[in-house]
Amino acid sequence: MPFYRFSELSRKEMVSVAHGSVFVLPIGATEQHGPHLPTGVDAMVVTYIAESACQAAGEVTSVVVAPTLPFGNSHYHLEYGAALSLTPETLLHVRNDILFSAAQSGFCKIFILNGHGGNDEVIRLAVREVVRRYEVTAAAVSYWTIAESALTDAGLISSDWPVPGHAGRFETSLMMALRYDLIKQLPVANAEHRRGFVDYFRGAFYQEPHTQVGVNGYTDDANGANDEYGEKALSIITRAVNNYIQGMAAVRASRNRESVQTKYEN
């Protein structure tokens, strides 16, 4: 079974593969990640995971990965500068337009892989809308959520390793594994970063003014990050995403090919 990149397919090829393929849309953000990481962390990480997982899934099923959408809801980073952000309303319209286009192109199974926490609420709304309007099967998940149990079992999540956090040990480790050349000198450890930012993963979503991204634009101490942890985490996450794509492929398509309105068949 093949793996395709949307941007590399011709119109004729797209028409022939869309109905039987899982359409994967990676989404990230472009925003500050402390003084030590590049602004493209979220897009780089989710692109790597999506490409790797789709290539693996392509060995057993047909999957088409779209170009990564590199912008998200990052308004709470604007006070630090170095952020290109969309409002939640604009972001929802963009997501909807892309998913609607995918459905109109013939895809019956749509999967959003998210790489930025600020997009969480919007991607769920986008999934509900494309399913309601086009009667497709769709799902959306953040890469750290889909792999949370596997990361925990591997001992990679603890109070000292907030996941995902923001520009802390976790993301810094991932970037050490992916693009060590882009990492600047790590900031000096700050006692204020021991407060436990990941409380909102334990139930209620809780925030205070000016604390959405921790102290100085990062949520926890990046010192102690290492590429070995990053490589192991990426492997586990990629496997979890691959498994989900294969599971989604096995679900019976909820829409017939005949219902897709295409002007040209070739």
Strand, coil or helix: what is 247? helix
What is the maximal distance between C-alpha atoms in the chain? 62
The pLDDT, as a whole number, for residue 219 is 86
Domains of the chain, by residue range, sit at: 3-254
- Which has more confidence, 243 or 214? 243
Determine what percent of the chain is predicted with pLDDT higher than 90.
75
Whether 217 has a pLDDT exceeding 90, the answer reads: no
Q: Where are the alpha helices (DSSP H) in 58-206?
A: 88-104, 120-134, 143-146, 148-153, 169-179
Assessment of whether the complete model's pTM goes beyond 0.85: yes
Q: What is the 3-state secondary structure (H, E, C) of 121-155?
A: HHHHHHHHHHHHHHCCEEEEEEHHHHCHHHHHHCC
pLDDT band at 256 (very low <50, low <70, confident <90, very high): very low
Whether 191 has a pLDDT exceeding 60, the answer reads: no
Per residue in 119-140, pLDDT (tens digit) is: 999 999 999 999 999 999 999 9
The pLDDT, as a whole number, for residue 224 is 87
Q: Looking at 67-76, 145-154, 158-167, 200-209, which range is the least confident one?
A: 200-209
CB 193 within 8 A of CB 219: yes
Tell me the average pLDDT across 100-127.
96
Task: Classify residue 199 by its DSSP letter.
Answer: G
Distances (CA, A) of 28 to 37, 51, 234: 15, 14, 16
Fold assignment, 3-254: Rossmann fold (3.40.50)
The pLDDT, as a whole number, for residue 211 is 58
Tell me the average pLDDT across 35-52.
98
